[in-house]
Amino acid sequence: MKITAPPITDAHWRGFTPMADFDPIIAREGEGCWLTTTDGRRIFDGVSSLWCNVHGHRHPKIDAAVRDQLDRVAHVTTLGMSCETTEELAIRLAEITPGDLGHTFFSSDGSSAVEAALKMAFQYWQQCPSPQPQKTQFLALGSAYHGDTTGAVSLGGIKYFHQLFAPILFSPVRGPVPCTYRVPDKVDPLTHYAGQIETLLSHHHDQLAAVVIEPLVQGAAGMITHPAGLLAAVREMCDRYNVLMITDEVAVGFGRTGRLFASEHESVTPDIMCMGKGLTGGYLPMAATIARPHVFDAFLAPATDSKQFFHGHTFGGNPLAAAAALASIDLFNETNLVESVEAKGDYLRQRIGTLSGHSNVGDIRGRGLMVGIEIVADRETKASPDPSHQVGRKVCQAAMERGVWIRPLSDVIVAMPPLVATNEELDILADAIIESIDQTLEDTFS
């Protein structure tokens, strides 16, 4: 029987993409904050190629680092051995992460970094100096998103991402959605949400291995921005109730919020930190799970005791990715890029702020160069638009017509450009978003 080859648009099955209903965009090359498509369009990368591009495409320093590593070795396993480039990166990460985080386990993506953290925390309580084997549960926030592997999905609380897979997932202790936009009337947001989390910890701490939290901003939840002080409050509660704290810095790390790591805003050192996306400057797949000494030490024992961490991936710690990561860290040290992020974020929000009086723009929020614009059907009730209107998707399609590539989170329009974007480029991004929202909302609600 003759087998017919599928159309080219179907050969590549894209993630989170309605394959029967989308217009394919295929990049041929990139430079700085811009991509050139195969049909000759030049488009601004308004979401940093899914939030990971830091220094721009084709940065000479990172390009050179990867080429140099190719002349030495492309891959070496980290199961029982390693590569000197990977060893150097582990040392550098110990130097730049908060507090005494100092023991790095490498993987290939943010979901895998979170998966490793869950297993690390679970195994820790089985074999730490005072074992508590009943500590097998995790506390995760409402509307959480920590990745797409099974354990990470189990932590998640976004209906469209996670509900379908419920039969194969574990159930976490579910915390509140600490949203400063939809906070109940006449309450202090920090006191309100911290109190809810403490109630859960007081009831469940004997069974909890860890609290898992995205610091400051829950990205995939719709750029949900936490009240100031919540992260520090959770750290204090974890210490008081003897529960590990895992921070997921995959989206917020590497300068995105105006600090190298978002945890630094509130002087927090988690027990375990997860990172990915910007780790290599957005060049190559690499993630890391970094633990403090008391966690790492629980895995130290003679081989006959079988207390080693029972987890590992073929390409974890890949030398090419490690070389890109080292070059990216060098660039942070050689420039004032992180220090410029808050000013750039303020500028972008100020430009987009002209939308704040629109009857269907509910909130403009974020930290640093993480910006979300929430579209609502009614500003008084904060009700979301009818899903059939596909408002977020239509806004992004209109932006693409203006030469700007962005992706929505339902009806939250996301702007997360590379950190190196200039004010002139931020103007291009802002103008496209403003015009596209105006056009779409007029078509939808008028």
Tell me the C-alpha distance between 216 and 268, whole Å. 11
Closest CA to 93 of 211, 260, 339: 260
Query: Of the candidates 252, 245, 251, which has an alpha carbon nearest to the alpha carbon of residue 268?
Result: 245
Residue 277 known to bind ligand: yes
Distance (Å, whole) CA 7 – CA 141: 41
Q: Give the DSSP per-residue string, 353-419.
A: GGGGGSTTEEEEEEETTEEEEEE-SBTTTTBPPPGGG-HHHHHHHHHHHTTEE--EETTEEEE---T
DSSP string covering 271-306? SEEEE-GGGGTTSS--EEEEE-HHHHHTT-S-GGG-
Bridge partners, 412 (sequence order): 374, 409
CA distance 35 to 417: 12
110 is in an annotated binding site: yes
How many CA atoms within 13 Å lie on the side-chain side of 43? 27
Q: Is 2 annotated in some ligand binding site?
A: no
User: Is 359 labeled as ligand-binding?
Assistant: no
Contacts of residue 144, Cβ cutoff 8 Å, sequence gap at least 6: 155, 156, 157, 158, 212, 214, 218, 221
Q: What tokens appear for 352 in the block?
A: 């987009």
> CA–CA separation, 405 vs 194, rounded Å?
37
Rg (CA), the chain: 22
Residue spans of alpha helices (H) in 213-336: 230-241, 293-297, 319-334
- For 115-132, b/e burial (b = at least 16 CB within 10 A) is bbbbbbbbbbbeebeeee
344 is in an annotated binding site: no
The answer to whether 102 is annotated as binding is no
Element (H, E) at 68: helix 60-70
276 is in an annotated binding site: no
Q: Write out the binding residues for substrate.
A: 145, 277, 312, 407
User: What are the binding residues for pyridoxal 5'-phosphate?
Assistant: 110-111, 248, 313-314
Annotated binding site: 110-111, 145, 248, 277, 312-314, 407
